[in-house]
Amino acid sequence: MKKIIAIVTISIFLLTLGILGSGCSQAQQTAATISTAVESSTAETTLIEISTEETAAQEKVPENFELLYVPKLVPEQSLGTLPWFDIIKAGMTQCASDYGFKATIIGPPKADPAIQAQIVLDNIGKNFDAIIVCPLEDKIIDEAFARANKAGVLTFGNEGYSLKNVTYNIAAMSNQAYGEAIMKAGAAYTNGSGSYLVSVGFLNSFAHNAWADAEIDYQKNNVNGLTNVLGYSRGTDRFEDNEDPKIASEKLTEYIEKNKNLNLIIGNSASTGIAAGEVIAKKRLKGKLFFVGTGLPVSIGKYISDGVLQEGFFWDPYLLGYAMSYIAYQSWLENVPGDGDAVSKPDGSKIEGYENLYTGVNDQGGNIIYGNAIESITAENLGSWNTKFANYGWPQN
In a domain, 397, yes or no: no
Tell me how many domains the chain contains: 2
pLDDT in tens, 243-298: 999 999 999 999 999 999 999 999 999 999 999 999 999 999 999 999 999 999 99
Q: Which residue in 316, 294, 291 sits closest to 303, CA to CA?
A: 291
In a domain, 194, yes or no: yes
Helix axes 138-150, 113-122, angle to 10 degrees: 10
Q: Phi then psi for 48, rounded to 5 degrees?
A: -110, 125
Q: Which residue in 234, 219, 285 sits closest to 257, CA to CA?
A: 285
CB 380, CB 179: distance < 8 Å:
no
Average pLDDT for the chain? 86
Q: Does residue 4 surpass a pLDDT of 60?
A: no
Output the pTM of the full model.
Answer: 0.85
Q: Does residue 170 surpass a pLDDT of 60?
A: yes
> 311-314 and 375-377: which strand pairing?
antiparallel
Helix, strand, coil % over all residues of the chain, rounded to 5: 35, 20, 45
Q: How far apart are CA 321 and CA 91, in angstroms?
A: 4
Shared domain check, 111 and 192? no
pLDDT of residue 43: 45
Shared domain check, 328 and 223? no
Q: Does residue 42 surpass a pLDDT of 70?
A: no
- Determine the structural domain holding residue 210 and report its residue range: 175-314
Q: Does residue 17 surpass a pLDDT of 50?
A: no
Shared domain check, 202 and 65? no
pLDDT of residue 56: 40
Shared domain check, 283 and 196? yes
Q: What average pLDDT does range 336-343 have in this prediction?
A: 96
In a domain, 251, yes or no: yes
Shared domain check, 146 and 20? yes
Q: Does residue 148 surpass a pLDDT of 90?
A: yes
Nearby residues of 284 by Cβ (< 8 Å), 6 or more positions away: none
Q: What average pLDDT does range 386-390 have in this prediction?
A: 96
pLDDT of residue 79: 41
Please classify residue 41 by burial: count the beta carbons closer than 10 Å to its beta carbon, then call 0-12 exposed, 13-18 middle and 19+ buried. Answer: middle
Alpha-carbon separation of residue 214 from 17, 171, 176, 198, 294 (angstroms)? 27, 17, 5, 11, 14
More confidently predicted of 325 and 7: 325
Q: Does residue 16 surpass a pLDDT of 60?
A: no
Q: Give the confidence band of 163 by pLDDT, cuts at 50, 70, 90.
A: very high
Shared domain check, 358 and 298? no
CB 105, CB 131: distance < 8 Å:
no
Shared domain check, 270 and 349? no
Shared domain check, 144 and 19? yes
pLDDT of residue 75: 54
Shared domain check, 302 and 353? no
In a domain, 326, yes or no: yes
CB 323, CB 343: distance < 8 Å:
yes
- Polymer length in residues for the chain: 397
Shared domain check, 185 and 129? no
- CA dihedral over 109, 81, 105, 16, signed as positive or negative: negative
Domain CATH for 222: 3.40.50.2300
Q: How far apart are CA 316 and CA 377, in angstroms?
A: 11
pLDDT of residue 44: 43
pLDDT of residue 214: 98
Q: How far apart are CA 74 and CA 6, in angstroms?
A: 28
DSSP 218-286: HHHHH-TTEEETT-SSTTTSSEE-TT-HHHHHHHHHHHHHH-TTEEEEEESSHHHHHHHHHHHHHTT-T
Q: Which residue in 132, 114, 117, 218 sits closest to 171, CA to CA?
A: 132
Shared domain check, 180 and 161? no
Q: Of 295, 314, 333, which marks where a domain is finished?
A: 314
